[in-house]
Amino acid sequence: MKKRNITTRTALVAGCFLLSWLLPGTGPAHAADECAQLAEKIGQERDLLTRRDQLMQAAKQCQKNADINYMLGYSLERLRKYDEAVKYYLAATEANQKYAKAYFSLGDIYLSQDDTASAVKAYEKGLKLESGNERAKHSLAEANAKLKTTASKTPTVSTVAPPKETAPKPPEVGSMEGPILRMMVLFQNNSAALSDDEKDQLSLVMGRAMQSPTLKDAVFEVQGHNDESGSDKASMNISKKRAEAVKKYLVDSCDIDPKRLQVAAYGHSRPAVPNTTQESRKLNRRVEFKRLK
């Protein structure tokens, strides 16, 4: 017990030293540039738990810094602390009302907790700020479809509906299987590079679920696709590179066993939507997942 206390005390002292070194002075109010430097410093930390602990301390010192609040919310969401994550995402939007990523992250949590109406509002707010975010567009479409389905099943007045939980529990991981199979990782034209947004989603959705007890032995086919531009050979090549990029990220960054991910390339043979507009072609430049076992 004594050794544990010493270790804990050492960790706390180290955390305080980091803050005092980067942020001279005391109290919660610090210059914006000092908080920005702290956010950049902590952002280099690779260990998730250490990063969370540093961000918890930083949030006390930089309460009005949108980046620190968002980063803390993101770390907590990855640790499945959804209610706490929402708190810091909201703090990020209060500190910077144009912080689109925070609205998108709120939408993701609300949607996973079946608070579909709140998810729609969050995605819409984010898309007003960042209208070109394809993943958010897809998530909003899914939320709207889910909202319509829920509305069509609304009980009549004579039906007694069960009381709504004031603090909904995080969904069982098994219930995430459907959204995972429908998850689309989108790419720019003729590119197999993953954007930061897509990396975040892979970590939060696919990486997290594949490490859960429910899906710990599941095997997935990582399907690469392309729009109809280019030759058959070129489409097959780029779609394979996209699937391989997704697999590599999940293996390297999410510690997923490579044997659980099987790459498949389909070129432009399986469009998700007709290749009639620029927007539809974007949706066809994608990677999807199919559970094999």
Question: Looking at 128-256, which runs of residues are DSSP E strands?
Answer: 185-186, 220-224
b/e per residue 191-207 (b: at least 16 CB within 10 A): ebebbebbbbbbbbbbb
Domain ranges of the chain: 31-96, 106-150, 174-291
Q: For the ranges 3-7, 123-127, 181-185, which has the lowest average pLDDT?
A: 3-7
pLDDT at residue 96 in the model:
93
pLDDT at residue 93 in the model:
95
b/e per residue 150-178 (b: at least 16 CB within 10 A): eeeeeeeeeeeeeeeeeeeeeeebeebbe
pLDDT at residue 262 in the model:
94
For residues 253 and 250, what is the distance between their CA atoms, to the nearest angstrom? 6
User: What CATH number has the domain spanning 31-96?
Assistant: 1.25.40.10
pLDDT tens, position by position, 203-229: 877 887 888 788 888 999 999 999 998
Is pLDDT at 115 greater than 50 in this prediction?
Answer: yes
Is pLDDT at 28 greater than 80 in this prediction?
Answer: no
278-282, long-range: CB within 8 Å, 24+ apart, which pairs?
A: 281/189, 281/227, 281/228, 281/229, 282/134, 282/186, 282/227
For residues 53 and 73, what is the distance between their CA atoms, to the nearest angstrom? 12
Is pLDDT at 236 greater than 90 in this prediction?
Answer: yes
Instruction: Tell me the mean pLDDT in the region 262-287.
Output: 88
pLDDT tens, position by position, 35-90: 988 988 988 887 777 888 899 999 998 999 999 999 999 888 877 788 899 999 99
Which range has highest mean pLDDT (37-51, 168-182, 250-264)? Answer: 250-264
Query: What are the tokens at 30?
Result: 């610090």
Query: What is the distance, to the nearest Å, from the Cα of residue 104 to the centroid of all Cα atoms in its chain?
Result: 9
The CATH fold of domain 174-291: 60s Ribosomal Protein L30; Chain: A; (3.30.1330)
Which range has highest mean pLDDT (33-37, 185-189, 244-248)? Answer: 244-248
Is pLDDT at 21 greater than 60 in this prediction?
Answer: no
Is pLDDT at 177 greater than 60 in this prediction?
Answer: no
pLDDT tens, position by position, 125-166: 999 999 988 888 888 888 888 888 776 655 544 444 444 444
